[in-house]
Structure 1
Amino acid sequence: MINTDHWNERWPDHPVIRTFEPARPVKVDIGRALPLGRGGASRADHVSMRVKTSALYMSGYLDGALKFWARMHDGQWLAGVTVYVTDAGGTNSVDIDMLVTADAITEAPAT
């Protein structure tokens, strides 16, 4: 995801990269994380059934794992997450590493 091996904190008491081991479960709001549907998305009735059923299903809230927070120069925090994505049928899955804004994630409720 992100390699911080050579990152040297100038103020160690106030780190700008905060990692979690183990990762924390989160929900990722894909609508906030990615500007999907803008510039290039086809109308649903123009997409083949092959694509609708076997392509990445990235909609709504997806399960993920928060691996780190990284602070940007303007004070915002970015979340380093791994999102678990399936196809529409749930047959295939892939883990996707992403940097998303803080408003795109919520901590998953404790089980």
Structure 2
Amino acid sequence: MTTLQALRNASANQPWMTLFNRESMFTRAARFQVAWAESDGSTVTIALLAFVLEAQSDLTQVLFFKFATNSVHFRHKSGTVSVELGRLRATRDAIAAKVSAFTSSYIETLPDL
């Protein structure tokens, strides 16, 4: 009797019996980076952390049975570089020339607000 009641209460837009149905969703919910720099007077240290959050959901139905699986993956990468302040001052112009090309092309891709 309980089985018949469950069939009666099933959603009107779904058939009462399904041979096979599979639904799958995948998303990269978040990607973000955090960077910071600090100096102790003689050395500059720059650190970068990058994160990705991925989620997947699968639903498989065979006849009256439904099997669901869900998973979330958190991945991260990090890196640190330390440079003596004197070396950084000596290469300042070369670094500025190299970075300015990337900065200009990045700013051109930003949308108008």
TM over 0.5: no
TM-score by length of 2: 0.24
Higher relative contact order (CA 8 A, sep 6+): 1
- Larger C-alpha radius of gyration, 1 or 2? 2
Determine which structure has the larger strand proportion and give its number: 2
What TM-score does the superposition give when structure 1 sets the normalisation length? 0.24
More helix by share: 2
